[in-house]
Structure 1
């Protein structure tokens, strides 16, 4: 359990800032295991070879960090300064050049290492394609074998395609976890499904295994905040910890040019921001990831990468409000 594959990120800012941090790149510090336990540990899983379609999502962890310079640590809307929340950057999991299974195993081992070494710390993984979620959840389960894990999934897709057909690809993580008895189908809630993007056999699998599907139309009708609160309450009543996975393709294609699988009819960025503020305030949420953002397909002004950083900061704001 002591082995991990974390290495310094490809891109990181010089953190020798001498004054009170006012921007994110001054605030986030590299993980120092000899210092106090951080409130959150950030780490990257830069893989996209396991994507069904061509994707440069492996580039996102580095681009995510470069965008920090454009964001202050103060949230004007909530009147909150984030610097009281200690976020440490553990770097990126080293990916094998060609071996997808080995890379996935390294993500699992590195996640297990962080969760065991820092049991009170929230973990946040930046993907990478959505295959990384199955690896991270298995790593958590390796450490907490007697605990049940619930998954709140924000996604346009169910991600229950058959690994026997596709291998451990980005369309398969939820099925991997259910078929592997890592999580129970009834402990998975997906919010954001809509339209014509899940074939009926996948719906049938979800129904058979008790996955709770909340369409975006339903969520909007009852209110997205109410929907998320209800989902978190349901999971909290029956699991020991909650893992949130944010597939950025939950966003509407009009606001997410850098997400290869984004679709018409998805969430607005504001809807996603509001949801993540709510999720961050829930004490049972111990793990989160953000996946499937491809900077190489983004606009010239990196609109989607900026949206991804904003979404992450909204979750952290929720964590600060919780405390």
Structure 2
């Protein structure tokens, strides 16, 4: 039989023997032990108060990871030793939003309790998933502190629209899942919130850093001060990244784009710094709508958030499972 050396299966990507892509590290979970990182898709966006196709984001972020290598030239380190299990997606109920949110809680609670050593990276979905996700994280891990990158406070009242993508942190505070003083909000944007919700945050001792402050101060200096305070009083820290914290020019694929936001490099620096702390044990990425994105620009930024998280963990000397 002749050897057709140059005939390859359709859609086979170019392979360079000296290059490792991030997707080479990701394996489909076999249902047994989970290694270093567990990717979890939470494709829920029907709870958004505006039009959103964020339910499609878990797949586009996974795809975007395939565009990048494991080597960081900035820090001369390689992420190729990481073992990442893709745990799949939580199945959403077709019509019942509360059932969908409860499925997120039940699924993650069991994963966190049964596999206590892996670090979850949750791919949303809209911001409503933060309530059941962090609630499950708290149930399994103990007292939780949250660093939230967001243009919005997300503490809307629950009477006008129920538990939506604008209410997760109010739900977390009022359910006593977290204390307001253990919530740090970074990147809150001008003309994107109301006085009422700024007052609510103040009354509940939430630490708020506006975009004006982020522009005027070094992001690591801001976070260093916050970490020193909250890490003394919590068991674990969870990082929540709403992609609309970024300026609309760098994250066009967000339902709530706006000017005056954070630049991607500042976000990457922040995530890498936070990941170096041993109490930072979880990451979520929410509010990315691939249906309004341009050439997957925002999904690629989200992929870099994940890579900078892994880089920070590796720089800290994190021991692989």
Shared topology, TM-score over 0.5?
yes
In the other structure, the counterpart of 1:316 is 310
Deviation, structure 1 residue 143: 2.5
Deviation, structure 1 residue 222: 2.5
Superposed, which structure 2 residues align to 1:241-252 within 5 Å? 241-252=236-247
Q: Could you state the TM-score of these two structures normalised by the residue count of structure 2? A: 0.91
Counterpart of 1:208 in structure 2 is: 203
SS at 2:145's partner residue? strand
Paired position in structure 2 for 1:127: 124
The structural deviation recorded for 1:33 is 4.1
Match of 2:5 in 1: none
Give the deviation of 1:68 after TM superposition: 2.3
1:97 is aligned to 2:94: yes
SS in 2 for 1:166: coil
Q: Considering only CA atoms, is the larger Rg found in Structure 1 or Structure 2?
A: 2
- Render the CA deviation track for 1:10-54: whole Å, top value 9, x for unaligned: xxx99xx9x89700121111123435x411111010010000100
Three-state SS of the structure 1 residue aligned to 2:196 is helix
Could you state the TM-score of these two structures normalised by the residue count of structure 1? 0.90
RMSD in angstroms over aligned alpha carbons?
Answer: 1.8
- Distance (Å, rounded) in 1 between the aligned partners of 2:260 and 2:163: 28
**1:200-240 alpha-carbon deviations (Å, 9 max, x no partner):** 00011111111111112213323111112222222201111
Which position in structure 2 is the counterpart of 1:286? Answer: 281
2:143 to 137, 141, 148: 148
Contact 1:249 1:262 in 2 (8 A): yes
Runs of 4+ in 1 over 6 A off after TM superposition: none
Which one is further off, 311-320 or 45-54?
Answer: 311-320
Across the two proteins, how many residue pairs are aligned to each other? 304
Write out per-residue CA displacement over residues 84-131 of structure 1, whole angstroms, 9 at most, x where no aligned residue: 122111011011111111110111111111211221211110000000
Would you say the 8 A contact 1:24–1:73 is kept in 2? yes
Correspondence 1:307 to 2:301: yes
Measured in 2, the distance between the counterparts of 1:177 and 1:34 equals 31
Q: Which residue of 2 aligns with 1:9?
A: none
Provide the C-alpha distance between the structure 1 equivalents of 2:192 and 2:168, rounded to a whole number of angstroms: 17
User: Are residues 1:34 and 2:32 paired?
Assistant: yes
Q: Secondary structure at the match of 2:259?
A: coil
- Asked whether the equivalents of residues 21 and 83 of structure 1 are also in contact (C-alpha less than 8 Å), the reply is no
In structure 1, the gaps of 5 or more residues are 1-12
1:218 counterpart (193, 213, 216)? 213
Matches within 5 A, 1:167-182: 167-182=162-177
Encode CA deviations 1:123-145: one digit per residue, 9 max, x unaligned.
1100000000101011123334x
- Mapped contact 1:152–1:231 kept (Cα < 8 A): no
Q: In the alignment, which of 253, 268, 272 is matched to residue 248 of structure 2? A: 253
Q: In structure 1, the residue corresponding to 2:45 is in which secondary structure?
A: coil
